[in-house]
Amino acid sequence: MVGGIVYGQSQPPPLGQVEHTATAVAQRAAADEVAAPAADAPLAIAEDTLVAVRVTPGTAALRAELLARAQDVWSERLREPTVDVVLDAAGLAWVGEHDLSIEVIVPDVLAVAEAERERLAQVEVARPSPEQWFSEYRDLPTIHAYLDTLAQLRPDLAQVETVGSSLEGRLLRALHVRGKGQRRFGMVVDGGLHAREWIAMAVSTCVADRLLRGYDQDERIRDFVDQSELWVLPVANPDGYVHSWKSDRYWRKNRRDGHGVDLNRNFGLAWGGDGSSDKPSSQVYRGEGPFSEPESAALRDLMVAHDIDAHIDFHSYGQMLLHPWSHTRTRPRDYAALKKTGKAMVDVMGKPHGTRYRLMSAQSLYPAAGTLMDWAYGELDAKSFVIELRPRGGGGFVLPPEQIVPTCDEGLAAVLTVGESVR
């Protein structure tokens, strides 16, 4: 597995390093080639193309081999037969030789990232209107500036707070929203713990926007804001996000020593367990110790300081609502309550656009130890969920920008419903 997929560099790597260096992939992108499946072999791709596919490996041994051959793992579903991986031509040929069932998610992941980059290069960032703002993905400075805009719009309800800083010294900026009633619950909403999941940063920002702009007109929103104290941290991994914009669209972790730490394996509950790795090159590298990373430590400190009752951690992709536990098959103590709230959430998330989100325990998807959700639930007793936003599969991490607003409708519905369940 490589640490991600790079574009925008131009020096070809020396032969022999091709499969496992990010630069190798950069060269493929620079070559600007398009996948050209042969007419009689629809699964064949050009040698320098990477394809994202959903594969059904069939046996544990084939799954292990597939993962070893993958250039990147986008999504694993241990309790389901499928796994989403990025393959090169040789990997795809191996899948063909073993006659495994396969569904193409993105035929050319580098071309998709490049097309997105070209589109974003045309975007006029200077002062988009509120309606335009969510018509496109925004980079870190633009999101941070928008938090200021929101606070200026409703200084009676919101302030921007710096809740920490990243490894590379970028600010962790949150919108602190406080209404006019008596506080009945504390809540944190965060996005972007994983750098490539851009819809999570967009939806978190958009939820904050909806709460402030809807306060005067919408009684449900007003009640939510009045009865809560809420922090929205839209970019929980700013170094990774900048890296994803500038050089590697598919980067997941923070930027620790170039290899990065998976922040969602760095929290202090069951740290080091199943579904995390001690290998720095792994996409699920847990770091040197619990809270070794300033980004996860900042979330811990924020949540410990403010008596948090509810929490949503936005991710992508898969359209799933995941409840604790993440690290163990043991049922959580209030399983019934989590399921009940979860069921209400997936119902309301389906209302605006008919989008189906599947509710399940995170562990039943695959084990993951040291997650934010488990820590918030286990240490703070917060009702904590992971939401894997759109898409369900096709497109993967690069979601068309027209889907930001509808996905925000779904995220907002979920946030309101969790809040209402704890007040």
Q: Per rule CB under 5 A, is residue 323 in the interface with Zn ion?
A: no
Stretch that binds ligand 0X9, among 59-67, 237-245, 299-307, 364-372 (CB under 6 A): 364-372
Q: Per rule CB under 5 A, is residue 315 in the interface with Zn ion?
A: yes
Residue 249 identity: R
Instruction: Please list the residues that pair with 231 across neighbouring strands.
Output: 176, 188
Identified binder of ligand 0X9 from the candidate list 201, 365, 404, 416, rule CB under 6 A: 365
Query: Whole-number minimum distance, CB 397 to Zn ion, in Å?
Result: 9
Which partner from the list ligand 0X9, Zn ion, none does 417 bind, CB cut-off 5 to 8 Å by kind? Answer: none
CA angle, 218 then 311 then 192, to 5°: 95
Query: Whole-number minimum distance, CB 314 to ligand 0X9, in Å?
Result: 9
- Among residues 27 and 264, whose Cβ is nearest to ligand 0X9? 264
Q: Which H or E element spans position 189?
A: strand 185-191
Q: Per rule CB under 5 A, is residue 265 in the interface with Zn ion?
A: no
Q: Per rule CB under 5 A, is residue 194 in the interface with Zn ion?
A: yes
Contact indicator for 24, 17 with CB cutoff of 8 Å: yes
Residues in 177-216 that interact with ligand 0X9 by CB under 6 A:
194, 197
- Among residues 45 and 263, whose Cβ is nearest to Zn ion? 263
- Among residues 179 and 192, whose Cβ is nearest to ligand 0X9? 192
Q: Per rule CB under 6 A, is residue 366 in the interface with ligand 0X9?
A: yes
Contact indicator for 75, 84 with CB cutoff of 8 Å: yes
Instruction: Please list the residues that pair with 38 across neighbouring strands.
Output: 41
Q: Per rule CB under 6 A, is residue 264 in the interface with ligand 0X9?
A: yes
Nearest to 194 by CA among 280, 245, 252: 252
Query: Whole-number minimum distance, CB 264 to ligand 0X9, in Å?
Result: 4
Query: Whole-number minimum distance, CB 374 to ligand 0X9, in Å?
Result: 8
| Spatial separation of the C-alpha atoms in residues 248 and 8, rounded to whole Å | 8
| Residue 2-21 contact track with Zn ion, rule CB under 5 A, x = bound | --------------------
Stretch that binds ligand 0X9, among 20-28, 154-162, 342-350, 358-366 (CB under 6 A): 358-366
| Spatial separation of the C-alpha atoms in residues 320 and 136, rounded to whole Å | 23
From the centroid of its chain, how far is CA 276?
A: 17
Query: Whole-number minimum distance, CB 106 to Zn ion, in Å?
Result: 17
Q: Per rule CB under 6 A, is residue 363 in the interface with ligand 0X9?
A: yes
Contact indicator for 203, 408 with CB cutoff of 8 Å: yes
Q: Per rule CB under 6 A, is residue 237 in the interface with ligand 0X9?
A: no
Catalytic positions: 388
Rounded (10°) angle between helices 404-422 and 219-227: 50
Nearest to 349 by CA among 213, 230, 192, 207: 207
| Spatial separation of the C-alpha atoms in residues 148 and 326, rounded to whole Å | 34
| Residue 287-316 contact track with ligand 0X9, rule CB under 6 A, x = bound | ----------------------------x-
* Beta strands per DSSP E along 254-326: 310-316, 320-323
* Dihedrals phi, psi of 309, to nearest 5 degrees: -100, -25
| Spatial separation of the C-alpha atoms in residues 328 and 306, rounded to whole Å | 27
Residues making contact with ligand 0X9 (CB under 6 A): 75, 194, 197, 264, 315, 322, 326, 362-363, 365-368, 371, 386, 388
Q: In the complex, which residues of this chain contact Zn ion (CB under 5 A)?
A: 194, 197, 315
